[in-house]
Structure formats: C-alpha cells, structure tokens
Amino acid sequence: MSSGAAASRPGGERLNIGQVLDVLREDYPNVTIPKIRFLEDKGLIKPERTAAGYRKFSHADVERLRYVLRMQRDHYLPLKVIGEHLDAIDRGLEPPEIEPTVPTVPTVELSPDGTPSPESFRKHGQTRLSRRELLKIAEIDDALLAELERMGLVTPTRSRHYDLDALGVARTAQELAEFGIEPRHLRGMKAAADREVGLIEQITAPYRRAGDAAAQGRAEEIGSEIAALAVRLHATLVKAGLRRS
C-alpha cells in the first residue's frame, strides 16, 4: 500500500514527515518540511512522537494539514483565524463561513531557469494593495510587516498602499521566517540590492538625460536587462558557493 493510500483512510499506518510531504505535494506543490514544522510550532497540528522524538502523523493529522493549507491558499486566512476554525472543529462545531477572497494579483514572469525575466523588471500597471490585502495575500501578520517597514525592506506609497514589489518582499520574508531568518538578517541583502540599483542608474543615466521618449525607453530596456543578469549572477554565485561548502 502506498503512503498516500495509507493516509487516505482512517486507522491507516502512521506516516513520517517525508511521507506526509509526498502525500500533500500533489495538491500543494509548494509545501515543505520546514512549513509543516512551522505549523506544528504554531500549535495547528500535533503529531505523535516516537521514543526517539520522530514525528508520526495520523490520517487526522494529514487532513488537518490539508485544511490549513487550503485556507491559506484559497482564502488567504491568517494562521490565528485558521487556529480558531480548528478549535471550533475540535469542539464539534462548524467553522464560520469564509469571507470572500481578495482579488488575485499578477504573477512574476520568469525565465526558463526560474529567475525573473527582464520583462518582470519593467513597469506593469499600477496595482495597489491595502494593508489588510497585503497581510492576507502574503500570509503574514502585522508584526512582521511592521518589522519589514522598520528595516526599510517594504515601503508603502504616499497613499498608504502597497505595490507588487512589497507583496513579493513580504511573501518571501514570511517563507524565510520559517527557517528562522528574521527581517534584521536581510539588511545585507537590501544593501547589496541598493548598490546594484546605483550601478544600473549610473549606466542608464546618459539615456535618461537625453529627455526624448526613445532614449527613455532605451534606458528602461537596458536597466531591465542588466537587472535580470544581476539576479542571475547572484543566484549562480550562491549556488556555486553552496556546492563548494
């Protein structure tokens, strides 16, 4: 019997965390072992532990995980609210009706190697998110957003709205937080990004000073190409460094 089949029926054998990951990934491809551990730390699941300390998940544990992941993905509910739902279910009650989800946002265009394409660095529309929408879509709490703002990693507009870049930073910061990486650890990345922006602005300055529309368009095109190459180089250097370690 496969692990998926075992997890699909009550009374099945207990699964380890790797088997649970295999069961869930068909419907939730972005789920990770650190994510499952994070949800356990938040008290949303409580798998059994062996004498050696290994987690063992029952059918009920797996279904509970499915509920948490579905509420996050499909309804953008914060973990605190999901916890309240689970508590109601545990007490034999029906969870409250789900509020309508917020509008979806455009996805980032990626190159074949998975890094952002030059097109993703060019301006696309004027998407604006309220603070509440950002918190829901990025699946973060207000404390994390406040810390990201304090570190200069996320900055609202003059109208107190947030753009897609702020959403990308917030969502990534949340995923990094699952590994114990806090906003204060990201200041070096912000400083490196600012230096790259300065270099790109220096290269495109002659075109921008020209003033005509064609030159402005060329400046944006060159800046986008350099930005995509810089991100690719950074990713490659990190990958190479990890292989040498």
> Among 14-18, 49-53, 118-122, which is the least confidently predicted range?
118-122
Phi, psi of 129 (to 5 degrees): -115, 140
Residue 172 has pLDDT above 50, yes or no: yes
- pLDDT tier for residue 56 given thresholds of 50, 70 and 90: very high
**Out of 1.10.3470, 3.30.1480, 1.10.10, 1.10.1660, which CATH number does the structure's domain 118-244 have?**
1.10.1660
> Among 97-111, 145-159, 198-212, which is the least confidently predicted range?
97-111
Question: Which whole number is the average pLDDT over 178-188?
Answer: 92
Dihedral, CA of residue 156, residue 162, residue 168 and residue 174, to nearest 10: 70
Token reading at 35: 């994510």
Domain with CATH 1.10.1660.10 in the chain: 3-90
pTM, entire model = 0.57
Average pLDDT, the chain: 85
Question: Which whole number is the average pLDDT over 52-65?
Answer: 93
Specify the pLDDT at position 75.
80
Question: Which whole number is the average pLDDT over 30-44?
Answer: 91
Name the architecture of domain 3-90: Orthogonal Bundle (1.10)
Token reading at 95: 């969870």
Token reading at 31: 């789920």
The maximal CA–CA distance of the chain, rounded, in angstroms, is 73
- pLDDT tier for residue 124 given thresholds of 50, 70 and 90: low
